[in-house]
Structure 1
Amino acid sequence: MSYHRRSSVSLPQSATLDERILGLHPPGAMYNSGVEYYNTVVEQRMRRVSSAIRARSGWIEALGDADTRAGWAKEAKEQGLTDLELCYVLDELAYYASLSQSGSNIRLSAVDGVWISDSLVDLETTDRLKDYAAILERVPSFQKDYWHPNPKNRVLNLIDPSLYPLVYSRSKLLRQPSTSASYGSCASKDFSWLPAEFSVDCNGAAEITSYINNLHPVKHAALYLVIASIFSKYLPLLEQVVTDLVHPRGDRPMDWPSCYYKSDVPKPLSIDNDDYHEAVEEWKKSAEFVYPQPKPFAALERPITPYTLHGRKLQAVVKMSNIELTPNSPRYRGDDWSVAAQANERIIATGVYYYDVSNISQCSLQLREPLSGFMFQVEQFDLQSVIKLYGINDPHNDGLLLTQMYGNVDIKDGLCVVYPSIYQHQMPEFKLANSSKPGHCKMLTFYFVDPATRVPSTAIVPPQQQEWWFEDALASEPFRNLPHLVLDGIANTVDFPISLGEAKRIRKEMAADLGKCNEEAAFETFEPHFFFSS
C-alpha cells in the first residue's frame, strides 16, 4: 500500500519573505488548494487530544505542573493513546508553548495554524471602539443595514465591504494598479473588495493612509485611529500565521509497519487455492491490526521568532458587523461553509476581534481543510487495511468526503483570532443564553491581503458613495444654492458616483458571484470524494 505525502517548497536560506510566500502561493494558485495527505486514525486521535488541551485556558502555564500533566495523560489513555503517542503529544505541546509570545497571551489555538489571544486589546481601546460603534449603530431604523446572505439571520452591518466594491467595468481608477496577475479559478471577473492601505513603521505601529470603504474618513476620523491601533495589535498574530504558511506543519512522522496484521495463526500462503482470498479476509478478521506509531517529536523547520511585517505597507479589508438576537428572534441559523474571499482579492488570512459578546450560548468558529489530488493506492485485496488505517466507515459510499475537520475555536468576549485562508470556515448555529432578553456578538474583522502582492485599493479608487459626493457638493459653489430637486435630477443622470440603491443591487450580484465561487471550491477542493485504485 502506498500513499502520497505533502510536498515542500525548496528555497534558499537567503530567500525573502515575499519570495517564500510567492513560492508557497504563486499567482494563479488558490490559497485553499489543500494538502496531499489524509490523517491516519493515529494522527487523528493525537490531534484531538492536543487540540483539546490547547483549547483550555492557561494550558501553557499548566504544562509545567506534574499533576496536571498526569491528569492529561490519564485522559489521553482513556481516549486510546499509546505511550509513544502520548509522549509525542506532550513534546509537541511543549514546542507549541515555546512559540507563544510572553506578555501578550498570543498562542496557538486548538486548530493548527490558527493563532489567538484573549487579552490582546486593552480595555481602554475596546471601550473607545464600542463608543464609536455605538455612533454607527445610532441611526434611524430605516437607515440600518440589516443584510446577510441567509435572510433568516439578523446581522447589522456597520462597515460592509460588499457595498460599493470595485466593479471592474465601472469603477474609476486614479491610476493603474502597480501589479496584475492571472488568478486562476474561483476569481471574480466582475467584482473585488477594496482594501485600505496600512503603513506599518519599524516599531509595528500602523497608520491608515487611505480611506476605509464605507467609513467616512472625516466624520469618523477618530474611529480610524482606533482601527489603526487594533490593526497594530493584530500584527503579531498575523506574523505567526504567515510564518506557519511559509513553513507548513506537514504530517507527523511515523514508523510504518512492514505488515499491518499480527496473528499467532499463520497467514494463508497458497495463491493457487480458489479459496485463498476468502481465507485471507477471514484471517484478517481474527488478526490484530498494527497501526503506525509516531517517531520521537522533532522541532519543526519553522523559526521560533516569526517573520516580521514591521516597516511594510500592508493592505486589509475592514468590516464591522453585529449579530443580534432578540426574544422574538432568539436563534442565529449559522453559516454555510465558505472561503474568506475570491482569488483575485488575494486574502491570505482573516482576523476577527469579538469585542462585545453578550447573552448568547456557546458558539465557535469551525474550520476544515481539503485534500488535493490525494488517491489511495492499495494492493489488490488490501482495501481492509485502508479502512482501518484511516478510519473510513464506508469506502463504497460515493458521498464520503475527503475533507478533514480541523476543530474549532470557542468564541468569547474579547477574543482575537487570525486564521489562514487554507481553511474553509463556518459559524454554526447558536441562540440566546437567556431567552427573555436580547443578546449579541459584535465583530471587527480584518481581511489581510497577501503581503507579497498588491491589489487595487482605496488608494487608487476614489470613493463611490453618491452621498459622500453630494455632501461635499452642497458645501461648495455653485451647488450649495441649488434646490435638492435639481441635485437629485443630476444624480439620476450620471453613472458615477453610485447611489445606495444601486450599491445594494451590486452587493446582491457580488454575493451571488461569491456563492458560485464557494460552490466551485466545495466541488473541486473542499469536498472531493474518496477514490480507491488498485
Structure 2
Amino acid sequence: MFQNPGHGEGFLNVSKNVDFRFLLPGFGRPLDWAPFEKNIYGVASRSMFPTAADDRDIENGYTELPVQTLREMAMVAVMEEITDVPEWWKKISDPKFADEWKEKAMNSGRDITQNMAEWIIDELVYKAMIYERFHSVALYNGDITKSDTNVPDSLIQSLQSAIKVLEMSHEELQFYHPRTRSKQRDLLAMTLYPLVYGKSRILPDRLIGLDDALRHAGQGEVIPVPTDTGITREDMAWRVRARADISKKPFSKLFQILPSDWELGDDGRWHIATYINNLHPVKHRDIYKIIEDTFNCLVPQFNMTITPLKDMLHSRARIEYHKAEYYPVSKEVAQQAPQIKPREAQSEFEERYEKWRMEHYRVIQPDAGKFIPWAVPPCLMSKLPEDLPSAVRIEQAVDLNRDYKDRGLQVITRLLGVDLTPDDPYFQTDWHVEGQMNEHICAAAFIFCENENMEVPVMEFRNIVETAILGEVEHEPNDFIWLRQVYGMDNGEPALQRPGSIKCTLGRTTIIPSTVQHRITKFELSDKSKPGRTRALAFYLVDPNIRIVSTANIPPQRLDWIFDAQAEEGDLAKPMAQLAVDNKHEKGDMPMSLKEALGIRVEALNELIEFTRYQHVAFESNVLML
C-alpha cells in the first residue's frame, strides 16, 4: 500500500533554480512567493518540500501518510523498544537476541502474532544495515528518525559547557515564555530580536558575513511591511474558513524568525557563514564551532528525514486490509441484540444497535506477511538477498551536500530549557509544527543534552492519513466496527493517527519532518522535593529550495552588541558607539534595547501561538467519510 500523491517531479531541476540573494519573500518579492519548476510533462508546480504548515499541501494530500492498522502500530512500538537497546544494530543479527526479542514481543500483552514478530526482526536486520552506514533509524512513516550515536559524548559535554556559559552571560535568560508559568525559556532565543517588518533594517545590495557582522549594525534601509498575499480565506482549509473566531493568516506581516546562512566548504563540511541571531559572533565564537560540529554530525540523519518529502512513494503500510470479516457471535449473545422500541426514532435505535455490535462483535484482524524492503538506498542493493519474491524500489534520496552545495542552507538555531520546581513539577507542550509559513521550516532536529532530576521527556507524533484505501475495503453498508477495531478510527472524524512516540534520552537526536505534528507529553520531576531542568539544542532547517531573509541581510539589532563593539574595537567603533548612544534611550530605531526587544518577543510568541491554533484546525480538516 503506497502513498498516492506523487510529489517528486518538481525537484528534477532544483539545481537550476536561479538564486537571487537580494530578491526575497517579503523583500522585493511577495511574501508568499515560491519557486516553480516544470515537471516531465511540462506542468509547473511549486518546487518545495510539502509541509503541514501550508493549507494547500494539506488540501492536495501532500502531507498524507499511509493509514496504519493498530497491529502495525503495535509492531512499531516493539521496534521502538528494541532500538532503544544499546547497540541493537549489532545484536539483532545474533539468533540469541532475535529469538529473545520475538518471544518477548509475543508475550508483551500487545496483539503480536508469530508473523508480526518475524517481520519485526527481519525489518530490524535490514534497518541495522542502514544504521551501520547512516547512524540513524526510521521506524515511522515520514520519516521521523532517531540516533544515539550521531553526536559523540565529547560534543554533548561541549554543549553542556556552552549552556553554562550562556546562562551566566545572557541577561534575557531570566525571562520565561508567556503562558508557560515560568517553566520554559530560551538560552538561545529565536523570537528575540526577530525580523520586524516596518522596523528592522535590511541591506539591499550587499551581504553580511560572520566576521563583519558588528560593523554593519544600524546600517541599511527599513524593510517595508509586506502587502497582503494572494491567499484569500477561500484558499484556506474548509475548517478554517468555517471558523469565524480564527482570523490568523498563514503568512505573518509582522515578524519572521531569522535563520543563519551555512556554506559547504572544500572540506565537505557545512560552515556557519553569517551570525546566529542572539549568539555574539565574537564573544561566543567557540560556541559557533560547537554548533557547527553538532550540525555536521546530523547531516546524514537530515537526509534520511527529508527524503520522503521528495520521494512520496518512500512510505508504505506494513499490514494491508481488504475485507471486513467478524468472528461468529454465539446464539446466546445474538438473542440479546437490541430491538426497536415503540415510538423510538430509527436513528436512536441504530445508535443503540451499533453500540451493542461494537461491544459484542470482534473483527478478524489482518496479519503481517513476509518483510520485503522498500525504497532501498543504492548503496545497500548489493546486500539484499537474491531470492526476494518481488522487485524493490531504489530510493531517490535527498543529499544536502550534493543537492545544495552551490545554494547553501539556512538554519534556525535554538537552545531551549525547561525548569521545574516542587511547587509546579510538570510540563508538556501542545501539538504543533515549528514556525509559521514565513520560515518555511521543512524539518526540525532536537538533541537533548542535559537532564537533571527529570523523567525522560517523550515526544509523540500524529499525522494525516491517506483514506482512499479505506474506501476499497469490502464491508456491509453502514458497518464501521472494523474501522474502529482495525484502525482505531471513526467515520466522520478527522483522518488522523498517532503512530507512536520516541523517548528523548540524553544525547539522542530526533529529527521530525514538518508534515508531522509533534508534542512533548507530560513529564515531571524525578524527585519532587528538588528542582530539575532539561536542556536541548534545536536546528530548524529552512526548506533549501527557497531562500528567505536571514542574518546575511539583516544587520545585528542588539543594542548591547554595539557597546561590545565599542569596547573591543576602540577608535574603529566610533560610528557604532555614536549610534549606540543615539539609541540608548529607546528611540524606537535600530539597534533595539532589551526592554523593547522583550516587548516585541511577547508579540511574536503570541502570534506563534495563534498560528498553532490556526494550524490545528487546518490539520484536522481532512475528515474520514466512507
AA paired with 1:86?
A
Q: Does 1:250 align with 2:315?
A: yes
1:9 maps to 6
For residues 211-245 of structure 1, the C-alpha deviation after alignment (integer angstroms, 9 at most, x for no partner) is: 11011111212211221111111212111111233
User: 1:87-102, aligned counterparts within 5 Å?
Assistant: 87-102=118-133
- Judge conservation of contact 2:55–2:618 (CA < 8 Å) in 1: no
Q: Structure 1 65/182 Cα, relative in aligned 2: closer, same or farther at 3 Å?
A: farther
| Alignment partners' CA distance in 2, 1:365 and 1:323 | 15
Q: Does 1:164 align with 2:193?
A: yes
**Structure 2: tracts of 5 or more residues without a match:** 16-36, 40-45, 208-225, 237-248, 332-339, 341-348, 380-396
What secondary structure sits across from 2:598 in the alignment? Answer: helix
| Alignment partners' CA distance in 2, 1:384 and 1:364 | 31
| Alignment partners' CA distance in 2, 1:61 and 1:483 | 60
Q: Does 1:299 align with 2:373?
A: yes
User: 1:403-482, aligned counterparts within 5 Å?
Assistant: 403-472=496-565
1:380 Cα deviation from its structure 2 partner? 2.4
What secondary structure sits across from 1:316 in the alignment? Answer: strand
For residues 51-100 of structure 1, the C-alpha deviation after alignment (integer angstroms, 9 at most, x for no partner) is: 33333333222211223222222233332223333333333222222221
User: 1:327-366, aligned counterparts within 5 Å?
Assistant: 328-329=422-423, 331-366=425-460
1:197 to 256, 261, 276: 261
1:170 Cα deviation from its structure 2 partner? 2.2
Q: Does 1:25 align with 2:25?
A: no
Q: Structure 1 114/83 Cα, relative in aligned 2: closer, same or farther at 3 Å?
A: same
What secondary structure sits across from 1:413 in the alignment? Answer: coil
- Judge conservation of contact 2:467–2:495 (CA < 8 Å) in 1: no
What secondary structure sits across from 2:544 in the alignment? Answer: coil
AA paired with 2:561?
W
- Judge conservation of contact 1:204–1:309 (CA < 8 Å) in 2: no
TM-score (norm 1): 0.82
AA paired with 1:297?
F
What secondary structure sits across from 1:132 in the alignment? Answer: helix
1:487 Cα deviation from its structure 2 partner? 2.5
- Judge conservation of contact 1:28–1:182 (CA < 8 Å) in 2: no
| Alignment partners' CA distance in 2, 1:320 and 1:177 | 29
What secondary structure sits across from 1:138 in the alignment? Answer: helix
AA paired with 1:118?
D
1:454 Cα deviation from its structure 2 partner? 1.1
Q: Structure 1 478/194 Cα, relative in aligned 2: closer, same or farther at 3 Å?
A: closer
- Judge conservation of contact 1:105–1:117 (CA < 8 Å) in 2: yes
Q: Does 1:132 align with 2:162?
A: yes
| Alignment partners' CA distance in 2, 1:500 and 1:519 | 28
1:406 Cα deviation from its structure 2 partner? 2.5
AA paired with 1:232?
N
1:269 maps to none
Q: Structure 1 59/477 Cα, relative in aligned 2: closer, same or farther at 3 Å?
A: closer
1:384 maps to 481
Q: Does 1:116 align with 2:116?
A: no
What secondary structure sits across from 1:293 in the alignment? Answer: coil
| Alignment partners' CA distance in 2, 1:524 and 1:483 | 48
| Alignment partners' CA distance in 1, 2:413 and 2:584 | 31
| Alignment partners' CA distance in 1, 2:580 and 2:83 | 63
| Alignment partners' CA distance in 2, 1:458 and 1:39 | 42
Q: Does 1:504 align with 2:598?
A: yes
| Alignment partners' CA distance in 2, 1:40 and 1:113 | 18
Q: Please say which of residues 120-129 and 421-430 is displaced more in the overlay.
A: 120-129
User: 1:26-41, aligned counterparts within 5 Å?
Assistant: 34-35=63-64, 37-41=66-70
AA paired with 1:245?
L
1:437 Cα deviation from its structure 2 partner? 4.2
| Alignment partners' CA distance in 2, 1:98 and 1:174 | 48
Q: Structure 1 380/5 Cα, relative in aligned 2: closer, same or farther at 3 Å?
A: farther
| Alignment partners' CA distance in 1, 2:14 and 2:151 | 27
| Alignment partners' CA distance in 1, 2:188 and 2:163 | 10
| Alignment partners' CA distance in 2, 1:259 and 1:432 | 46
**Structure 1: tracts of 5 or more residues without a match:** 267-273
1:449 Cα deviation from its structure 2 partner? 0.9
1:271 maps to none
- Judge conservation of contact 2:72–2:318 (CA < 8 Å) in 1: no
1:109 Cα deviation from its structure 2 partner? 5.9
| Alignment partners' CA distance in 2, 1:29 and 1:204 | 37
- Judge conservation of contact 2:584–2:593 (CA < 8 Å) in 1: no
1:415 Cα deviation from its structure 2 partner? 1.8
For residues 175-214 of structure 1, the C-alpha deviation after alignment (integer angstroms, 9 at most, x for no partner) is: 2899x99788633222111000111235431211111101
| Alignment partners' CA distance in 1, 2:254 and 2:462 | 28
1:15 Cα deviation from its structure 2 partner? 3.0
1:120 Cα deviation from its structure 2 partner? 2.6
Q: Structure 1 30/64 Cα, relative in aligned 2: closer, same or farther at 3 Å?
A: farther
| Alignment partners' CA distance in 1, 2:576 and 2:129 | 66
| Alignment partners' CA distance in 1, 2:376 and 2:47 | 17
Q: Please say which of residues 117-126 and 285-294 is displaced more in the overlay.
A: 285-294
User: 1:275-286, aligned counterparts within 5 Å?
Assistant: none
User: 1:489-500, aligned counterparts within 5 Å?
Assistant: 491-500=585-594
For residues 104-129 of structure 1, the C-alpha deviation after alignment (integer angstroms, 9 at most, x for no partner) is: 74333678622222233334433333
AA paired with 1:464?
Q
Q: CA RMSD in A?
A: 4.2
2:389 maps to none
For residues 249-271 of structure 1, the C-alpha deviation after alignment (integer angstroms, 9 at most, x for no partner) is: 433265545562465999xxxxx
Q: Structure 1 297/209 Cα, relative in aligned 2: closer, same or farther at 3 Å?
A: same
What secondary structure sits across from 2:201 in the alignment? Answer: coil
How many residue pairs get aligned? The number is 513
1:350 Cα deviation from its structure 2 partner? 1.0
1:451 Cα deviation from its structure 2 partner? 1.8
Q: Structure 1 31/204 Cα, relative in aligned 2: closer, same or farther at 3 Å?
A: farther
AA paired with 1:234?
L
